[in-house]
Structure 1
């Protein structure tokens, strides 16, 4: 029975994580309707599923590669279009990420008990990070990105333990699939993994380099096969690549989802204004509330590991784990801190596995070292770093028991420093002081419905605005408009100016809707192409995005609430000048035939 306790404890952790992430999940509706509509399109058309199209007739793709949509599209195809069919896969990815992180910790330590403890600490920590609770209950691609990155970390540890080329190749292939989830963001974990293998694998340098080269080839193949497929298919036989300027995946990867986000070139900033660049970004505002609770403790754990490694007190695989996870944390943290383009707070969820792993590693190393004065100081430092920052965050957000958290952390640190007799109680008290802030915010996040394109963890007492309330399209709740579109028999039931409105119309009507201008003003269709589609009877209605209220005089143009560009305005002008409007519910509608 003694050797079975890790299994039973892990089962309890996974069951608790599943309950936390699945509880009242449908309260968020379809979450991000943009990706939900694409999942519906993928369920209706295998071609749309393959390309990641926003509509089943393949007019335009979403502004990300399709790997995450492959999962939700299959779920909707099997279970039908329902909020749980869209959101439950993300929650299950969260449970899987906790399990994989546990397995990674078990493989890191030669002592089975130490590995189990480190895995349980890391798994619970990951499950209770507010950013993780947010994104594993939402249908953005980040859930799959975090899971695949954690799987790659598992493969990295297995690669160091092994002398075979197979595990490095496995890591490369998984990172390649992660690239097809969120492009260049997937590569942020690679430097840490490569450094761990180069410095800690028990084989000759030439073989290490050769194995990493093979991993690089696997990464290129894993990421490039879909890119090549899209490039080889004629443009008129596939959807336009949303977010690109030249209808190519590479431009999307290195432009809109690359340099634009990091350098801020032609990129809209986060709603409410950009945060000041620098490491303080991770500790302030919404990003601080979502990820930073145990970030100081993770940094202290990194220092503990570095000290023990320099003293020769860590095994080879443990050193590799330190390099891999610390590299993940530092590289990702620096990019998130200094990127000058679009920087949404929920991007910080990619830090969650690294923070959790380092807390698990540092706690286990300090506990192993507890009989020495240095070990007790290390445990006290972990507790003080985490509890003091947690207390400050709670105080900043108006939580009344913030001082109690600080006092508990100080008491725990004192008990850990005194001696062996108080180590156990001090560790339990310290764990409580470390966890309480993150737990409170995670529970509050789970209890808050999340909608829109930029979800936030939880609305705080100060009344700080959150992007979760951003406009998603009044048309989604208009049953009369939905019935009108559902009765059409043209390839596209309607066209509308922008992807948000198109997504809402698709979900409500179950039809394909042409998103003129895509998500952020894509140059499709041209006016000439749109006129041809109308004259050929491919589109039945034009719906003004955002709800128009009473009908306007014939020829008067109603401006869109979506992203507006010259060519989308040109199309809207032509529609308004050519066809008479009518009001359906709260929407201004033009019949194009």
Structure 2
């Protein structure tokens, strides 16, 4: 046994990269607070019953689910069950998934392209800014990426070892990924299918049989859970959040499917400010940081990013905001209790007006040119202008675009450089097949994000593995060519390719950094240009030149990637960038609690099933986390899900199951939920609480209203409606 372990080679560079990933992804997560309070509320509820755990119920009463299947939340709930409900325990699965993805990428690249390429791929993945930001939250993206990489790992093993069961696992894992973030997992299927048919060495009939088996495994693992849920009587399970027909399959192909590409057309007009706005002013192009018309109260940071400052122009600290991290609300079980801002909320807040902070799509692709930008990756819907260069624009590029030039050149070099010149042009070597796999991941996913109308910037973590892999393949190939130089001289084209990559990559990176660090951007360009000239005029394999070039390529990206860690950021809308180091960090999507309201409804709840009702999930999440009691989010995440009719709600009120409704600027209007809110405001009695101004709140102290909605909070007593 000892001899066996002696033969195991430990890659010390890989260990160092994994340690770096652990620090970047995990350091400061003890300040994670509620992270994404929408999902933290679900985790709180899932710990209270097996039914809530199985369905991913948002509230302890199991009234409605979150807007995704619960597989990723299962891991988070298990972690919270083992370690207790804390900020760090709910983000721990994402931290581990992020580190695991770095390791898997090394294992996927090193066998074919060498340890150097594997290390580079792992390093590029580790230092991609959005990977760091995503791996520090309880969103599902880091776990999804790990699952997809695991699927690729088993498919690669199936090719190398000719094992049918590994094909089944590979395609089955994509089905598991579907039950993490639905159709987003299917984006790499074309790459897997092409790679399978190119690489598996079996007779056609056997290969076809294996493929059919893989498709069957995919179908089983994809459909088993949603079919099981949809087959349960609707009155015996929670409503499927963000669906329009109370169906998980409809959710997958509607809100989480076609609407991601074409733009959101359901669930609009509720919790999101400006969601139904169709004026050109509210949808104008804003990639340079200018504010849309009507947003006079929001400030602009150095890089033009729109940040949600108090309308009075005061700092977040002055309004009770804790530092630059708006997601850092202490968990109710944390040792320090609620943060100071909740104490301020208990005393009441001053009326400071409102700010139109986050405007999502309106069912189209923004304006006629497809612009949905609101300036900067910190914004929930800052996705730039649709088109072939969207991923390189400031909004998305500052999160994912740092190594895109390297990856594109790497894709071409991989396909051309690894060819066997003794064979026909259409013959593919094993290395070329691996490049086809990663190119098959890159092209369709990049194409989707280039034209899609409805997604958040942090979704672009889907591109991180393939960008890292292709970039590493490119640099490893050029290093190999340098090492094979004859007579002490390289081919001129090797130096020219190094020069092109340095100029293109440092140019893009300097563009992202310019508005924050103009001097550093100029320095980066100068160093990149000097190195490019050196590579062109000097064709000797100079020692350490590759190391200096690599440091230049990763220096600025490393700083950008470190900002969430330095800021101890675990945001609902993950992002990276220097704005996190100021008082204007990422936005929190609800999760705030007015302690006066909470004390009142808790004291007067009586035998009511629900502590109170509200229009949307973000208005309810903080109260669920704090009290561990059921709060009914009538309209789900967007505040518009048709969960019940007015007559059904009247029955709940008449039976005493619902006694209070907390309005957070809800205007009523059309739709079932709108009718219910209109009825409540007509017949309910406003509750006057001592020490709380119920009709006013600061824009940063959101007592609800969803993602940037009108933050006015009013508590209505419904218990006397039928006794009048």
TM-score, structure 1 as length reference: 0.89
| CA offsets 1:525-563 (integer angstroms, 9 cap, x no match) | 221111212222323422223xxxxxxxxxxxxx328x9
Tell me the equivalent position of 2:325.
Answer: none
How many residue pairs get aligned? The number is 570
SS at match of 2:149: helix
Equivalent-residue separation in structure 1 for 2:669 and 2:512 (angstroms) = 39
1:325 is the counterpart of 2:451: no
1:308 is the counterpart of 2:417: yes
The alpha carbon displacement at 1:10 in A equals 2.0
Of 379-388 and 331-340, deviating more is 379-388
The alpha carbon displacement at 1:95 in A equals 0.8
Contact preservation (8 Å) 1:126, 1:353: yes
SS at match of 2:265: coil
Contact preservation (8 Å) 1:34, 1:499: yes
Equivalent-residue separation in structure 1 for 2:193 and 2:444 (angstroms) = 13
Contact preservation (8 Å) 2:176, 2:221: yes
Equivalent-residue separation in structure 2 for 1:589 and 1:11 (angstroms) = 55
1:64 is the counterpart of 2:190: no
Of 390-399 and 493-502, deviating more is 390-399
Greater relative CO (CA pairs within 8 A, separation 6+): 2
Contact preservation (8 Å) 1:304, 1:378: no
Q: Show structure 2 runs of 5+ residues with no match.
A: 267-359, 362-371, 375-381, 695-712, 720-724
Tell me the equivalent position of 1:260.
Answer: 259
SS at match of 2:385: coil
1:296 is the counterpart of 2:405: yes
Tell me the equivalent position of 2:675.
Answer: 570
Aligned in 2, Cα 1:365/1:147: closer, same or farther, shift over 3 Å?
A: same
SS at match of 2:632: strand
SS at match of 2:573: coil
1:482 is the counterpart of 2:598: yes
Q: How does 1:191-590 map to 2 (within 5 A)?
A: 191-264=190-263, 266=265, 268-269=360-361, 272=374, 275-312=384-421, 316-340=429-453, 342-370=454-482, 371=485, 372-373=490-491, 374-417=493-536, 421-448=540-567, 450=569, 453-458=572-577, 460=579, 468-469=586-587, 471-472=589-590, 474-475=592-593, 478-486=594-602, 488=605, 490-520=608-638, 521-545=640-664, 559-560=665-666, 566-584=671-689, 585=692, 586=694, 587-590=713-716
Tell me the equivalent position of 2:93.
Answer: 89
Tell me the equivalent position of 2:311.
Answer: none
Aligned in 2, Cα 1:96/1:75: closer, same or farther, shift over 3 Å?
A: same
Equivalent-residue separation in structure 1 for 2:28 and 2:568 (angstroms) = 9
Contact preservation (8 Å) 1:130, 1:290: yes
Of 158-167 and 452-461, deviating more is 452-461
Contact preservation (8 Å) 1:502, 1:514: yes
Q: Over aligned residue pairs, what C-alpha RMSD do you find?
A: 2.8
The alpha carbon displacement at 1:420 in A equals 6.6
Equivalent-residue separation in structure 1 for 2:83 and 2:601 (angstroms) = 23
Q: Show structure 1 runs of 5+ residues with no match.
A: 546-558
SS at match of 2:687: strand
Tell me the equivalent position of 2:284.
Answer: none
| CA offsets 1:194-236 (integer angstroms, 9 cap, x no match) | 1112122222333333322221111111111101111211111
| CA offsets 1:230-266 (integer angstroms, 9 cap, x no match) | 1211111101111111111111111111111111251
The alpha carbon displacement at 1:459 in A equals 5.3
The alpha carbon displacement at 1:433 in A equals 1.1
Aligned in 2, Cα 1:212/1:51: closer, same or farther, shift over 3 Å?
A: same
SS at match of 1:514: strand
Contact preservation (8 Å) 2:612, 2:662: yes
1:12 is the counterpart of 2:118: no
Equivalent-residue separation in structure 1 for 2:448 and 2:676 (angstroms) = 39
The alpha carbon displacement at 1:565 in A equals 5.0
Contact preservation (8 Å) 2:251, 2:257: yes
| CA offsets 1:262-298 (integer angstroms, 9 cap, x no match) | 1125165157376321121101122110000100001
Contact preservation (8 Å) 1:482, 1:508: no
Tell me the equivalent position of 2:339.
Answer: none
Aligned in 2, Cα 1:325/1:237: closer, same or farther, shift over 3 Å?
A: same
Contact preservation (8 Å) 1:495, 1:542: yes
Of 226-235 and 365-374, deviating more is 365-374
Contact preservation (8 Å) 2:516, 2:578: no
Tell me the equivalent position of 1:153.
Answer: 152
SS at match of 1:366: helix
Equivalent-residue separation in structure 1 for 2:571 and 2:16 (angstroms) = 33
Tell me the equivalent position of 1:106.
Answer: 110
1:138 is the counterpart of 2:137: yes
Of 345-354 and 579-588, deviating more is 579-588
Equivalent-residue separation in structure 1 for 2:560 and 2:439 (angstroms) = 25
The alpha carbon displacement at 1:471 in A equals 5.0
Contact preservation (8 Å) 2:42, 2:57: yes
